[in-house]
Homo-oligomer: A and B are copies of this chain.
């Protein structure tokens, strides 16, 4: 069977890794590849709707976790050289001076171009995310769904 499509398992919640993921996803759509981004663990933070943080139906650990983690794509830290946010500001300034779009712009570009976003059901359960807290473009999927889709893809990456 001929393989096709680009499958990305986004585990990381670092600004720079999410940026790399979105650049790849957008680029693959430009080449008319089908693109599926499956967000698990910290990668779920990319899909969080900053307007919809919820404390309802959460136990104390889930509430602490909700408060302790970044409230949306632009709040994510760098994987390296974060230096209390200074390194990230530097990167943002360098991107702005090159007129490069920021992470949220790449994310919304990906939505428009038809990149499919999936949230890992098990990660949501462990981390206490409700689907109402995620951006509306996201569908919830299982690990089995991910694997079934990834095995048909031409390119699979874990970021």
In contact, B41 and A16 (Cβ under 8 angstroms): yes
Q: How large is the interface on A (under 10, 10 to 19, 20 to 34, 35 or more residues)?
A: 35 or more
Instruction: Check A155 against B159 for contact (C-beta < 8 Å).
Output: no
B154 & A151 in contact (Cβ 8 Å cutoff): yes
Q: Are B27 and A143 in contact (CB under 8 A)?
A: yes
Does A57 belong to the interface (CB within 8 Å)?
Answer: no
Shortest beta-carbon distance, A33 to chain B, in Å?
Answer: 7
- Chain B neighbourhood of A151, CB < 8 A: 6, 33, 154-155
Let me know if B24 and A143 touch, CB within 8 A. yes
Q: Which of A47-55, A60-68, A108-116 contacts B (4 or more CB under 8 A)?
A: A60-68
Residues of B within 8 A of A104 (CB): none
Known: A31-B148, A69-B81, A158-B158. A20 touches B40 (CB 8 A): yes
Contact of A147 among B33, B41, B68 (CB under 8 A): B33
| Distance of A61 Cα from B154 Cα, bound (Å) | 38
Name the one of B17, B68, B97 contacting A61, with C-beta atoms under 8 angstroms. Answer: B97
Interface: A135 (CB within 8 A): no
User: B residues within 8 A CB of A81?
Assistant: 68-69
**Interchain residue pairs A-B with the least CB separation, the first 5:** A27-B143, A157-B158, A151-B154, A61-B93, A61-B94
Kindly list 13 other residue pairs between chains A and B, CB separation below 8 angstroms, not including A94-B128, A98-B125.
Answer: A6-B147, A11-B159, A23-B122, A24-B147, A27-B146, A30-B144, A42-B79, A65-B90, A91-B126, A98-B126, A100-B125, A147-B155, A158-B158
